[in-house]
Amino acid sequence: MTADLLDVLVVGGGPVGLATAIEARLRGLTVTVVEPRHSAGADGGAAGSAIDKACGEGLMPGALPALARLGVDPPGFALRGVSYRSLNSRGVETRVDHRFASGEGRGVRRTALHDALAERARSLGVDVVGGKVDALEQDATSVTAAGIRARYLVAADGLHSTVRRLTGLERPVAARGRRYGVRRHFRADPQTDLIEVYWTPTVEAYVTPVGDGVVGIAMLGRKGLDFDAALAGIRPLAALVAGAEPASELRGAGPFRQSTTRRSVGRVLLVGDASGYVDAITGEGIRVGLAQAEAAIDCIARDDPAGYERAWKQRTRDFRVLTAGLVAAANSPLRAAIVPAASALPRVFGAVVERLAR
């Protein structure tokens, strides 16, 4: 817009940062992404080696039209619903299945999602540079970080956002009840087209096929959760991976809960996990992050950064309320009753899944 000043500097080239950059280009804004793990492609553009991250890799149905709007259609495995399962001490299974009424979801390897977003960003002329933001300055008309000056800065630098801390938007979170996630992939044929979630007394194990005969298993639980021990204790999963070749290294992330006092200050806006995160228990991070990216760029395009706060609250409300409620139940003595209750009330379970799937 202003001839010699970049419109948007995006900090972080994960899925939400790249989606933000694509949104900006679709609005005709100039944009540069700064990402420490970036290695430039042959043409120096946004291609380069794909960024991996610990993730359950289940895209809920609402994420696919949001990606399609951006011109992104990542390859993966069609997911048609969610199945909650638990085993009692005698190995008897309780389960409840809900098939999405709102369309298909998709299991997508993070590297495949990164490739698809990076390729689309490159085709739209997004500039990605290697670098890590560790300081920023803003005045009435611009923000400067990593030696780049722009009219606006959108921080998509993840769960442990540096920008959130630098701008004083971070709200400390109690250490009690902190939860983490660990994932690994195996070469195995999918057993179902549902996202299976096994509830044990200490972990939730998510099984998500991602295509090409690869299945991801993500475990969520308390600090120090032992992936292999938990896997061995869940008989159907132990059988699934018996003799299967691992297709990735163990990778973890957390603590999940990250909070913010507000989502913008001056010309800096927070999106994705950087803007605050509840938990991976509902598999919602990407869908919610895409909605935040759209809202942030909409506000920037209208020169109304302050309007982002309202849009952020509106677009994240269901995720915050339902995810926090489920985490509270999972951390309480009610934990053992979650799958039996969902199984006894399949319509309620289905309604909650549909709400999150939108």
Ligand X SMILES: Cc1cc2nc3c(=O)[nH]c(=O)nc-3n(C[C@H](O)[C@H](O)[C@H](O)COP(=O)(O)OP(=O)(O)OC[C@H]3O[C@@H](n4cnc5c(N)ncnc54)[C@H](O)[C@@H]3O)c2cc1C
Which residues are at the interface with ligand X (CB under 6 A)?
11-17, 34-37, 51, 53-58, 132-133, 156-159, 162, 181, 183, 218, 253, 272-274, 280, 283-287, 289
Q: At 220, phi and psi to the nearest 5?
A: -115, 140
Q: How far is the CB of 344 from ligand X (least distance, A)?
A: 26
b/e 224-251 (16+ beta carbons within 10 angstroms → b): ebebeebbebbeebeebbeebeebbeeb
Give the C-alpha separation, 109 to 55, whole Å: 9
**Range list of H helices, the chain:** 15-26, 63-69, 110-123, 162-166, 227-233, 235-241, 285-301, 308-330, 338-344, 346-357
Residue type, 85: R
Contact call for residues 156 and 288 (beta carbons, < 8 A): no
- The residue count of the chain comes to 358
Q: At 345, list the tokens.
A: 């009330």
Q: How far is the CB of 131 from ligand X (least distance, A)?
A: 7
**Angle, CA of 149, 142 and 295, to the nearest 5°:** 100
Q: How far is the CB of 276 from ligand X (least distance, A)?
A: 11
Give the C-alpha separation, 316 to 327, whole Å: 16
- When the beta carbons of 61 and 289 are compared against ligand X, the nearer one is 289
Q: How far is the CB of 3 from ligand X (least distance, A)?
A: 27
- When the beta carbons of 6 and 253 are compared against ligand X, the nearer one is 253
Continuous segment of H or E residues that includes residue 4: none
- When the beta carbons of 148 and 340 are compared against ligand X, the nearer one is 148
Q: How far is the CB of 346 from ligand X (least distance, A)?
A: 22
Q: At 47, list the tokens.
A: 């291609």
Residue type, 252: G
- When the beta carbons of 124 and 166 are compared against ligand X, the nearer one is 166
- When the beta carbons of 59 and 188 are compared against ligand X, the nearer one is 59
Q: At 351, list the tokens.
A: 């309604």
Q: How far is the CB of 206 from ligand X (least distance, A)?
A: 6
- When the beta carbons of 229 and 250 are compared against ligand X, the nearer one is 250
- When the beta carbons of 69 and 340 are compared against ligand X, the nearer one is 69
Q: How far is the CB of 281 from ligand X (least distance, A)?
A: 9
- When the beta carbons of 190 and 289 are compared against ligand X, the nearer one is 289
* Residue found under tokens 């799958």: 339
Q: How far is the CB of 235 from ligand X (least distance, A)?
A: 22
Contact call for residues 322 and 355 (beta carbons, < 8 A): yes
* Residue found under tokens 């199984």: 343
DSSP string, 294-328: HHHHHHHHTT-GGGHHHHHHHHHHHHHHHHHHHHH
Q: How far is the CB of 285 from ligand X (least distance, A)?
A: 2
- When the beta carbons of 49 and 94 are compared against ligand X, the nearer one is 49
